[in-house]
A and B are shown apart, each in its own frame.
Chain A
Amino acid sequence: MSDEMREALEAVSQRILEEAAFFFSDPMTDSAKRPNEDWDPVGIEMSWEGDASSGTIRVWSDTALLVVLAANMLGVEEDNPKAHTQQRDALGEVLNMVLGNCLTEAWGPGPVFQLGIPHPADQANLADDSNGGFWLVAEGLPMLFWVGSGS
């Protein structure tokens, strides 16, 4: 994980979760509290390219968080059908907002970046991401961000 983007993630991700989804989150500082290898989260990935930096970012969310995330973003109750059908889309948009804001945080407002489209992450990346990523606890459940520089 690049230092610039790691620092940006730590500065930006909690704010975006709060502003976009009314999620109050904290860094998971105690690694013993991380989920075990049976954890089966939903992962979303997107990439970016630019003269200043290129790379890939992923988010992994506990499935129990997703319906709350979508409901909060849409301003509907959790039993609203839209909160169930738009869970992955909501997570993708959170990642999109985190990435866009991280790039400005890390590199300033000057550089231009081309952002990709959020898409499902390959579960094979989860183990490595778990070791090198940035863990948060949101609504009492785990969420993991990972960012890597280079195409």
Chain B
Amino acid sequence: MDLILSALADALSLTTFLSVAIGVLIGIVIGAIPGLNAPMAIAVAIPLTFTMAPLAAIGMLVGVMKGGGFGGAIGAILLNTPGEPHSAATTLDGHPLAKSGKPRKALQTALYSSVVGDSCSDLVLILLAPTLAIFALKAGPVELAAILIISLTLIASLSGRSLPKGIFAASLGAFLATVGVDPETASPRFTFGFIELFDGLPLAAVAIGVLAVPEIIMRLQEGKSYRRQKVEEVSTKHSDDRITFSEFRGLKKPIFRGAGIGTAIGALPGLGTTLAAFLSYAATKRFSKEPEKLGSGALEGIAATESANSAVSGANLIPLLTLGIPGNLTAALLVGAFLIHGVTPGPLIFERDAQLIYGLFAAMIMANLLVLIIGSFGLRVFALIVKVPPYVVYPIVLLLCVVGIYVSQGGFFAVWLMLGFAVLGYLMARLEISVVCFIIGLVLGPMIELSIRQSVVLLSRNPAAIFDHVFALVLVAATPVVAWILIRDRARLSDG
């Protein structure tokens, strides 16, 4: 109990509060810029956290994640331009409602549903994760290796259009994770004589390189073909352009259904936010009394999709905190941030860094409240962000990427690395090779290598001992079957 109170005090300190608030603000602003999204916002924000205390740093990134989730809805509703695939579901009803003269109502519905969905999944995380971690602690390296392999297979199977490309991306990421000093023998691998590579590739440089910079280049490439789109004005002229309490209360079924779907999907690695948003939308249409209204500006549609896709973000931390497995890109970047601050995600985190984790739980709840407050008060300002033309935003964001990496790594070496990975990221995007698989491979690579090495050492003296690890055997046997089923149904499940 003392531990939880201390964690709460840490979370409520001014530093943590301000970090989370700034994170939420960065997340909403970057998420609202067409073409940028929450994972990019996290990648750009990671360098800013290098000098912070772990709780303030991770709290800030969680704030970016939550703010980015709502920020994405702003572009989707006002511009009909989803920043991420899952926001496409929000455009179905959000944009028609905005076009009918009620953009504020659409944004408020998205904001409130998003906060409720996110809070529900956070509560599930807070209640379940410590218990699941106790079970996870019983897993040895053999079980962990099997879990990691099936998770990476799930992610590779579901991301992108082609399985070979997905597996190639994951293996390239895992290969690049071996750069640096070998943890067992301390001999350098792939350092090419650069002392800067002895600690491995800097995650922030790689993440910004493959995620943010290629997207900026592609947006700049649109060039003169950019046409200013019509943005629905958020004004206070229309009295009925606000959601009333009774209207919001009437949305409790789609919101809680969406939160349930989002939480269940988020807890499984690889399934993704898009699936949650569209499943929730389909379920709401099925159970709606007036299904014909969905698609023409129904509040139910916005509530269902926003609560579901926000619920995924909290639930994604369940496999991350209990097993150290990131379920999606955002979680993979958070793993990187944890490692940068000397915290290793996994079941032991509840023993080694319990105060930090309970502080993080409190910071997550605080972030939800801040999204609600900042989002409500800043609605009109954030709505203006989508109007800023790309030739102003993207060059500045590109310079911020360069500056962020320079400052965080203390030199130009990492900036050149970032540029190299930007070339790789651009080619991957154009050739439809999943960047998600690449980043998750990069983050999971060292864990998989270590657990496999430990397993082989354990089993080398007595190979028959493999039969003592029935759970691992079942998982290894199930991996190709699950992969085959997912590949067969990929068109339906994929994040695109």
A binds B: no
